[in-house]
């Protein structure tokens, strides 16, 4: 039934600020922007080894009653250097949510709250690297 992550979406109050911040974090411009009523309503980046979709939706389209505090599942993006990645995110204005935490050999996570209130997880994951290498074989 679940075949793979397709798109991760974050709701944000200031879509233009989110676009600028994530363009700086990711080092690329969004590949897709949709406007509604003359202003951006959705932006999307393609990132990572599998070009996953990372989208941002103007909070005016959030489901009614959506809680404004961080909650729910945390998706972790693989990074090659977790300490440097966490340091960079914090230097750009994110707040540490979970500090660097080792969960076992080859599995280290951390997460931040971005300037828009969303949780962004990062992880060094040896299994991810092994799967990439197997896919190249």
Give the range of the structural domain holding residue 113, as residue numbers without chain letter: 73-137
Place of tokens 């009653």: 65
pLDDT band per the 50, 70, 90 thresholds, residue 106: confident
Q: What is the pLDDT of residue 3?
A: 66
Rounded CA-CA distance 87/18 in Å is 19
pLDDT, tens digit (0-9, with 9 covering 90-100), for 54-92: 999 998 888 887 666 676 678 899 999 999 999 999 999
Which of 61, 86, 102 is the last residue in one of the domains? 61
Sign, CA dihedral 12-13-15-19, equals: negative
Which of the pair, 136 or 71, is modelled with greater confidence?
A: 136
Q: How many of the other CB atoms lie within 10 Å of CB of 21?
A: 19
Taking a C-beta distance cutoff of 8 angstroms, is the pair 46, 53 a contact? Answer: yes
Q: What is the pLDDT of residue 104?
A: 83
Which of 40, 61, 82 is the last residue in one of the domains? 61
């Amino acid at each position: 039934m679940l075949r793979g992550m397709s798109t991760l979406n974050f709701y944000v109050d200031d879509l233009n600020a989110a676009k600028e911040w994530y363009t700086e974090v990711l080092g690329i411009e969004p590949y897709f922007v949709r406007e509604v009523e003359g202003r951006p309503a959705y932006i999307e980046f393609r990132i990572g080894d599998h070009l996953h979709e990372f989208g941002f939706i103007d909070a005016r389209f959030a489901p009614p009653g959506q809680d404004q505090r961080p909650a729910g599942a945390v998706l972790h993006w693989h990074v090659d250097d977790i300490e440097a990645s966490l340091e960079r995110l914090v230097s750009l204005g994110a707040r540490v949510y979970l500090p660097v935490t080792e969960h076992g050999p080859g599995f280290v996570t951390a997460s931040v709250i971005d300037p828009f209130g969303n949780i962004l997880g990062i992880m060094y994951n040896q299994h991810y690297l092994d799967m990439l290498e197997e896919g190249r074989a």
